[in-house]
Amino acid sequence: MKVDELSKPFERPGIEVLFDERAIVTRVAQLGAQITQDYAQKTPLTLVPVLKGSYVFAADLARHIDLPVHVEFIGVRSYGSSQVSSGEVQITLDTKHPLEGQHVLIVEDIVDTGLTLAYLRENFATRRPASLGIAALLRKPSRTLIDVEVEYVGFTVPDRFVVGYGLDDAGLHRNLPYIGAYRA
Ligand code: IMP
Ligand code: MG
């Protein structure tokens, strides 16, 4: 995407922009280049976006990975209130093909408490992949309950509820082309 082709700002008065489209494009391209380098001898790479939150990030990231890539989706739901995860994770959609022997990179929107990714890491390890890594667009270190290893992180965010670029609040705002936070 060329910079002069980026979309209009999609302004929402209640939402403050934390990372605009240009910052995201730049960072995602860097992550893709790093992954391309790291996985050069580990192909094909199987990307596993965690639905729904990572769908925008995964679509962009995949197009910055210059390697043979498979894509398998997983859907999870974590119980709890809308903005706080309980740590009890349910798989709502599982991968279609076995991950055994594959180089697997889980693609997630945000590491908040870490409970979801801790669960997924453990669950995926039992599927005996050749290697297992995680790429998360965002990390909110102030909220860590489990310090799960995440190999690739896009941005660190403060302890605020963020939306846009795939992330939702009660199903809305996933389509915002930037990452924003509610104004206080
Ligand atoms: P966890 O607390 O690390 O298990 O995060 C669970 C899930 O909660 C993430 O994958 C997101 O889908 C969602 N989540 C956590 N923090 C935010 C946020 O600030 N905005 C939108 N979704 C969030
Ligand atoms: Mg999620």
pLDDT single digits (tens) 8-34: 678 999 999 999 999 999 999 999 999
Q: Provide the mean pLDDT of the chain.
A: 93
CA 60, CA 62: separation in Å to the nearest integer? Answer: 6
pLDDT value, residue 6: 63
Structure tokens of 165? 């670029």
- Can you give the pLDDT at residue 9? 72
Active-site option among 109, 112, 159, 168: 112
Whether the CB-CB separation of 123 and 106 falls below 8 Å is answered with: no
Domains of the chain and any CATH numbers: 15-158+167-182 (3.40.50.2020)
| Distances in whole angstroms, Cα of residue 124 to Cα of each of 58, 121, 131, 135 | 18, 5, 10, 14
Is a pLDDT exceeding 80 seen at residue 81? no
Q: How confident is the model at residue 78 (pLDDT cuts 50, 70, 90)?
A: confident
* C-alpha 169 – ligand 1 centre gap (Å): 10
* 112 CA from centroid of ligand 1 (Å): 5
The number of the ligand nearest the C-alpha atom of 75 reads 2
- Distance (angstroms) between ligand 1 centre and the Cα of 109 equals 8
Q: Is 112 a catalytic residue?
A: yes
Are 118 and 132 in contact, with CB atoms under 8 Å apart? no
Q: Which of 15, 57, 81, 109 to mutate to test the pocket of ligand 1 (most atoms within 8 A of CB)?
A: 109
Instruction: Using the predicted structure, report yes or no on whether residue 3 has a pLDDT greater than 70.
Output: no
> Amino acid identity, residue 138?
L
Alpha-carbon span 63 to 29, nearest angstrom: 9
Q: For ligand 1, is residue 114 a contact (CB within 6 Å)?
A: yes
From residue 144, how far is each of 79, 85, 105, 116, 117 by CA, in Å?
17, 12, 21, 11, 11
